């Protein structure tokens, strides 16, 4: 395997499970020192310990609610204290809730927007403040729901669509300071979030087995976008969905 992240430091949010864990493992396998930032403190520490046990290198687990700006600041401070720098931020932590538009209250909306949109905005701010002179790379994990959606998931779809807009602004403001920002649109990926989706459980959203990818499929794309191989790619969105979005 290439080691494109030797001497680089990466923060991956929501990395205690699912797609985030696969992204953390991939960046770590390519030489990155990785911070696993997750709401679940013990799971974050266990995930980081597993990375080191499996492949050596360095990793730390940090308890962080990405929707709380002071916790995001503390996470970046802890990473700088431990590793001295930060080069890559992957905004992966996400939350999806299910109600009709008539049922969603303001609190319901804020609960999702806080994690899926503001969490990424808070970490983006920290990247702009603390990436070094060589700049850095931000990868935002959005969803195919950012561009096509189904009923009963309005805050999630809206947050993911707004995340694409944040990605564009980040690429524009990042241009002069060597910060690249790109977004990945996962399709159906084999994680608990997919199979616990009530629309999927009820059959309202049917998923052809051939349309289901793995967390590693997303990690491959993220590692590319975060690496120097993508040095001329910024402000773009990459669908990693097995072609699902392209079909009627
Ligand atoms: N699984 C899919 O089919 C799919 C499809 C499209 C997009 N996505 C996106 O991929 C990302 C990862 O999803 P997944 O399927 O691995 O989900 P998952 O539920 O398996 O993992 C999400 C992780 O985020 C953490 N998390 C939740 N709220 C948090 C918060 N406030 N602060 C920090 N961490 C928090 C959870 O503890 C968990 O470890 C999400 O942004 C999701 O929207 C997933």
Render pLDDT for 5-57 as a digit per residue (tens, 0 to 9). 999 999 999 999 999 999 999 999 999 999 999 999 999 999 999 999 999 99
Residue in 20, 97, 163 to alter for ligand 1 test, most ligand atoms within 8 A of Cβ: 20
109-118, 197-206, 212-221, 225-234: the lowest-pLDDT one: 197-206
For 56-98, where are the alpha helices, taking DSSP H only?
Answer: 69-83
pLDDT in tens, 152-191: 999 999 999 999 999 999 999 999 999 999 999 999 999 9
Q: Is the CB of 222 under 6 A from ligand 1?
A: no
Atom of ligand 1 nearest to the CA of 96: 43
Task: Flag whether the pTM goes above 0.85.
Answer: yes
Query: Contact 144/187 with Cβ under 8 angstroms?
Result: yes
Does residue 47's CB lie within 6 angstroms of at least one atom of ligand 1? no
Report the atom number in ligand 1 closest to the C-alpha of 115.
31
| CB of 92 shorter than 6 A to ligand 1 | yes
Q: Catalytic annotation on 15?
A: no
User: Which CATH code is given to the segment(s) 9-243?
Assistant: 3.40.50.720
Residue to substitute in 193, 238, 245 for testing ligand 1 pocket (most ligand atoms within 8 angstroms of CB): 193
Does the structure show a pLDDT above 90 at 206? no
CA 32 centroid distance within chain: 16
């Amino acid at each position: 395997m290439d080691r494109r992240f030797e001497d680089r430091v990466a923060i991956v949010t929501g990395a205690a499970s699912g797609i985030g864990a696969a992204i953390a493992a991939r960046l770590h396998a390519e030489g990155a020192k990785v911070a696993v930032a997750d709401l679940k403190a013990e799971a974050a520490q266990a995930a980081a310990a597993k990375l080191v046990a499996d492949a050596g290198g360095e990793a730390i687990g940090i308890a962080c609610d990405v929707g709380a700006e002071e916790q995001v600041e503390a996470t970046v401070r802890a990473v700088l204290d431990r590793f001295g720098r930060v080069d890559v931020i992957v905004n992966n932590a996400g939350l999806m809730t299910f109600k009709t538009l008539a049922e969603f209250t303001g609190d319901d909306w804020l609960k999702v927007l806080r994690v899926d949109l503001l969490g990424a905005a808070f970490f983006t701010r920290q990247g702009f403040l603390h990436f070094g002179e060589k700049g850095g790379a931000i990868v935002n994990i959005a969803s195919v729901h950012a561009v096509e959606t189904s009923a009963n998931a309005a805050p999630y779809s809206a947050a993911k669509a707004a995340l694409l807009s944040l990605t564009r602004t980040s690429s524009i403001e990042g241009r002069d300071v060597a910060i690249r920002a790109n977004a990945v649109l996962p399709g159906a990926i084999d994680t608990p979030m997919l199979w616990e989706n009530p629309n999927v459980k009820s059959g309202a959203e049917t998923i052809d087995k051939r349309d289901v990818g793995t967390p590693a499929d997303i990690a491959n794309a993220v590692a590319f976008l975060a690496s120097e191989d993508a040095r001329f790619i910024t402000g773009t969105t990459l669908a990693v969905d097995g072609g699902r979005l392209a079909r009627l």
